[in-house]
Amino acid sequence: MKKYIALIITALITALILLPCIAISQETPAASSASGAAAQTLGKADDSSTFEAEAQQNTLEILRSIVKSKATLKQRMDEKKQAMDKASSETERQYLNEELAALDKQMADAVTDFEMTATGVEIGRFVAKKKERFDWKDELLSLAEPGIMELKRLTVKARHKSKLNDELANYQELLPVAIKARTRVESLLSQTEDQALVTALKDILPEYKGIESQIKNKVDLVQLKLEEIKRQEASVIDSTQDSVKRFFRTRGLYLFLAILACIGVVLLIKGLYHTLIRLVPGYKLEYRPFHIRVLELVYRLMMLVLTVLAVMAVFYFVEDWVLLSLTIIFIMGVVWATKYTLPMYLDKSKLMLNVGAVREGERMIYQGVAWRVKNINFHTLLENPDLGITLRIPIMELIGKTSRRCDPHESWFPCRKNDWVILSDGTRGGVTHLSHETVELVLRGGAKKTYQTADFLAMTPLNLSVNFRIKVPFGIGYGHQKDATTTIPELLSAFIQEQIEKEGYADDLLNLRVEFAQAGASSLDLVVITDFKGSQAPVYNRLTRSIQRWCVDAASQYNWDIPFPQIAVHLPGDSVMS
């Protein structure tokens, strides 16, 4: 799609750039001379007369060169005809006939060049054209023909100049070959005394002299034509200012009127739409109903069609067929590009009507993050309540994606700003920045750590800012086995509760339990379970250390042994060392 849009935009920009040149080239000789005579000063008139005299002299030189070339060609043709009469074999006659046909074509070209140079017009315009059968394809293309012909006419001088340069290079390459051939024949004539050989060489010498003369004439003719083109280019540059003024008085004015017509149509249609749509039920709902979406789609299509028709109407009424033709060419290009992108436009239409795979008010995943589809239009709005941001994306980004209905209690992101989280790599920090691109954490001490959002989500963040639980294991010796499951847990729980109240954590304590966990290899293990509110998340590690300290303080107060891992070594003689 991007490729077709780029091609269309490039064609439009090219057309706009070429319009001033078109305005310059479309001036008729009579109109151009009349307007120029009224605006030019006496000095410019003298320059113009001088230029016309030089042009006339240059034309006469070209005509003389063509006449000389025709005379050379006629002489060569006469020689070929005489040679054909003397030819003794059919093969020789056929060879001479082919050469004569080539010379005849060159003679026809020379006659055409002479007439075109002398008259200054293309002779083919006066030839009556045969009436052709009606063909709708040809008729359709004929609508675009003025613009195409105008663009072709803009490049005709450049193409003609390039062709002349190629011809000049070709003739300049052939001329030394012809001279070498002629001088070789003359050299052989001067060196031989054989009469038969002399006669044969004298028979072919005029042929190569004629070829040399013809090539020289061609070189002179092409050089004269190139000089004429250079003079014309200089005159065009001198008259650029007047041509630009003429453009803004004609096509520039028509373009300005077309732009005004476009703006007027857009404002009128938009005003009518916003006035009428308020009268339709359901207009003010947060998520627009189907009939409102249909009306909006029709409104956009009508605006596009009427805007194009307004431009065409302006060009039609001012009778500027070139601008009208260029507009038709542009429309044909758009339609041609649409043929390949029609499925995509159908998908877009379904999305705008809210009957596609993605719908307003539903949940979708975009760039790895969950979003609520707030509004579907040419630019769709996505929002994430937990991130606190709204994202505007082109409707093309929705093609190929799906959405689903979301639960009211469903989370849109694992955390919010100012929450404290623990990641799978052990990192703990407070969230200071959130977006669909990056997440920034501030660690204890003030250091900051930034993650790509996708990497952050992959590390399964544990959010401490809602509520959190701390489990601390604590072991006592087997000497307290009798009380390990009854009295000791109660005493430890009461002791920790007292310490929590002393240090000011009681208001945020949700739950406290001490339970027997297991009989370990060297100790009887208890576990202290505490649940706190999320407001204590910044001191998560401090609470963990405090609970460990309170357990040790309780053991000291109640004389509980705190065992350490022991290794039993069996020695020979049944003695045991531990």
CATH code of 518's domain? 3.30.300.330
Question: What is the 8-class DSSP label of residue 504?
Answer: T
User: Looking at the structure, do residues 478 and 522 belong to the same domain, yes or no?
Assistant: yes
User: Looking at the structure, do residues 508 and 428 belong to the same domain, yes or no?
Assistant: no
Answer whether residue 492 is part of any domain: yes
Determine which helix (DSSP H) or strand (DSSP E) holds 331, and give its type and residue range: helix 321-352
Phi, psi of 527 (to 5 degrees): -135, 130
Angle between helices 487-502 and 540-558 (to 10 degrees): 130
User: Looking at the structure, do residues 480 and 547 belong to the same domain, yes or no?
Assistant: yes
User: Looking at the structure, do residues 445 and 511 belong to the same domain, yes or no?
Assistant: no
Distance (Å, rounded) from C-alpha 14 to C-alpha 98? 47
User: Looking at the structure, do residues 400 and 471 belong to the same domain, yes or no?
Assistant: no
Answer whether residue 400 is part of any domain: yes
Burial code (b: 16+ CB inside 10 Å, e: under 16) for 307-333 equals bbebbbebbeebebbbbbbbbbbbeee
Answer whether residue 503 is part of any domain: yes
Distance (Å, rounded) from C-alpha 337 to C-alpha 354? 26
Q: Is 366 helix (H, G, I), strand (E, B) or coil?
A: strand
Answer whether residue 342 is part of any domain: no
- Pick the last residue of a domain from 404, 432, 453: 404
- Pick the last residue of a domain from 442, 463, 484: 463
User: Looking at the structure, do residues 447 and 497 belong to the same domain, yes or no?
Assistant: no
Determine which helix (DSSP H) or strand (DSSP E) holds 404, and give its type and residue range: strand 403-404
User: Looking at the structure, do residues 388 and 431 belong to the same domain, yes or no?
Assistant: no
- Pick the last residue of a domain from 374, 404, 434: 404
Question: How many domains does one find in the chain?
Answer: 3
User: Looking at the structure, do residues 554 and 471 belong to the same domain, yes or no?
Assistant: yes
Contact (CB, 8 A) for 167 and 218? yes
Answer whether residue 547 is part of any domain: yes
Pull the structure tokens for residue 158: 């450049």
- Helical H runs in 389-539? 453-458, 487-502
User: Looking at the structure, do residues 459 and 471 belong to the same domain, yes or no?
Assistant: no
Nearest-CA neighbor of 67 among 113, 16, 131? 113
Per-residue pLDDT of the chain (578 residues; tens, 9 = 90+): 444 444 444 444 444 444 444 444 444 333 333 333 433 444 444 555 665 666 677 777 777 777 877 788 888 888 778 777 777 777 777 877 888 888 888 888 878 777 777 776 665 555 555 555 655 566 556 655 665 666 666 666 777 778 888 888 888 888 888 888 888 878 877 877 777 777 777 777 777 787 888 888 888 888 888 887 777 665 555 555 566 667 667 777 888 888 898 898 888 888 888 887 777 776 666 667 777 777 877 888 888 888 888 888 888 888 777 777 778 778 877 777 777 777 787 888 888 888 888 988 899 999 889 999 998 888 899 999 999 899 999 988 998 899 999 888 889 999 999 999 999 988 999 999 999 899 999 998 899 999 999 999 999 999 999 899 999 999 999 888 888 898 999 999 999 999 999 999 999 999 999 999 999 888 899 999 999 999 999 999 999 999 999 999 999 999 998 887 655 555 565 444 44
Long-range contacts of 401-407 (CB under 8 A, 24+ apart): 401/357, 401/358, 401/364, 401/365, 401/366, 402/357, 402/358, 402/364, 403/357, 403/358, 403/359, 403/362, 403/363, 403/364, 403/373, 404/362, 404/363, 404/364, 405/362, 405/363, 406/362, 406/363, 406/372
Pull the structure tokens for residue 544: 């963990």
Answer whether residue 483 is part of any domain: yes
Answer whether residue 372 is part of any domain: yes
Half-sphere exposure of 244 (CA within 13 A, CB side): 6
Task: Read off the pTM.
Answer: 0.51
User: Looking at the structure, do residues 391 and 432 belong to the same domain, yes or no?
Assistant: no
User: Looking at the structure, do residues 554 and 484 belong to the same domain, yes or no?
Assistant: yes
β-strands 369-375, 363-366 pairing: antiparallel
Residue 458 structural domain: 420-463
User: Looking at the structure, do residues 487 and 539 belong to the same domain, yes or no?
Assistant: yes
Answer whether residue 109 is part of any domain: no
Q: Is 483 helix (H, G, I), strand (E, B) or coil?
A: coil
Handedness of CA 320, 28, 256, 15 (dihedral sign): positive
